[in-house]
Homo-oligomer: A and B are copies of this chain.
Amino acid sequence: MTNRPPRPRGRGIPDATVARLPVYLRALQALQDRETPTVSSEALAAAAGVNSAKLRKDLSHLGSYGTRGVGYEVEYLVYQISRELGLTQDWSVAIAGIGNLGRALADYGGFGSRGFRIAALLDADPAVVGRTVAAVEVGHIDRLEEIVRSAGVSIGVIATPAASAQDVALRFVEAGVTSILNFAPVVLSVPEGVDVRKVDLSIELQILAFHAQRRADGDGRRPVGGTGLEPV
Partner of A228, one of B181, B191, B203: B191
Q: A residues bordering B, Cβ < 8 Å?
A: 3-4, 10, 12-13, 18-19, 21-23, 25-27, 46-50, 62-63, 83-93, 99-101, 103-105, 107-108, 110-111, 114-116, 152, 154-155, 173, 178-181, 185, 187-215, 218, 223-232
Is there an interface contact between A212 and B91, defined as CB atoms closer than 8 Å?
yes
Is there an interface contact between B232 and A108, defined as CB atoms closer than 8 Å?
no
Chain B CB within 10 Å — which of A50, A84, A230 has the most?
Answer: A230
- For this chain, the copies found in one complex come to 2
Chain B CB within 10 Å — which of A86, A101, A104 has the most?
Answer: A86
Partner of A231, one of B47, B62, B86, B116: B62
Partner of A187, one of B47, B107, B191, B223: B47
Ordered by A's residue number, 17 sampled pairs between the chains whose C-beta atoms are within 8 Å are A21-B206, A22-B203, A85-B210, A86-B214, A89-B223, A89-B225, A115-B209, A152-B224, A155-B212, A178-B223, A190-B229, A190-B230, A191-B226, A192-B228, A193-B225, A195-B211, A198-B232
Is there an interface contact between B209 and A204, defined as CB atoms closer than 8 Å?
no
- What's the least CB distance linking A182 to chain B, in Å? 8
